[in-house]
Amino acid sequence: MKSKNLWMRRILAFFIDTLLISLVASFIATPFFDYTSVNNLRENSEKIMVDYENGNITTNDYIDSATSIFYRLAQKNGVVTLISLFLSVLYFVIYQFYFNGQTLGKKILGIKVVSNDAKPLTIDNYIYRSFIVNSILFNIITFSFVVFASKEVWLVGISVFGLLNYLVLFICLLMIIFNKDGRGLQDLVGNTKVVLSSK
């Protein structure tokens, strides 16, 4: 029987870990980040918005210009995305594997990932669950669109896969709240479950 507040602990741990990865990735990427170009693109975005609101450009021109700017911003942010992906795999797969099913967030909240069938967990188990719940798979796909696709394909790709990502995370959330065993989609795929850790 699952603890009443286990799902709340899981959500809090998720946010702690996600924030941690974002902060570390941003810090590591700082020397490689082109702040001048990014600020110029943001200023252009604001200017285009003002022009559109004042009726100086058509809707089609606005959409085309805005798409170009956001596409270039995504390219400029590519180094941060790449570092985040690397850190996510390192943290949610490798670190968690070697630290008894716990990330820092899980450790703080007193929970851990264990096998659903009492067999020892492997790296594969952590890969399967992390690719879903930590959005690693979706982030790889959307990063690929930035690198290899035109701006039009990129826009459609990130829209579709971004929506799918949020849908999958929402399904995971509903499952851990309402399933009797508290297992989410990531746990079913990874053959895992999350339990309270012994102090």
**pLDDT tens readout for residues 153-168:** 999 999 999 999 999 9
Supply 26's token pair: 């941003």
Q: Which helix (H) or strand (E) holds 15?
A: helix 6-29
What's 57's DSSP letter? S
Under DSSP, the state recorded for 197 is P
| pLDDT at position 1 over 70 | no
Phi, psi torsion values for 114, nearest 5 degrees: -130, 170
Q: Which residues pair with 111 in a beta bridge?
A: 196
The residue length of the chain stands at: 199
Q: At what angle do helices 123-133 and 151-178 cross, to 10 degrees?
A: 110
pLDDT digits (tens, 9 = 90+) for 98-118: 999 999 999 999 999 999 998
Contacts of 28 (CB under 8 A, 6+ apart): 83, 87
Helices (H) and strands (E) in the chain, counts: 10, 2
Give the model's confidence band at 2: pLDDT under 50 very low, under 70 low, under 90 confident, else very high: low
Asked whether 113 and 14 are in contact (CB, 8 A), the reply is: no
Three-state secondary structure call for residue 111: strand
Tokens representing 44? 């252009």
The average pLDDT across 165-179 equals: 95
Q: Is the pLDDT reported for residue 83 higher than 80?
A: yes
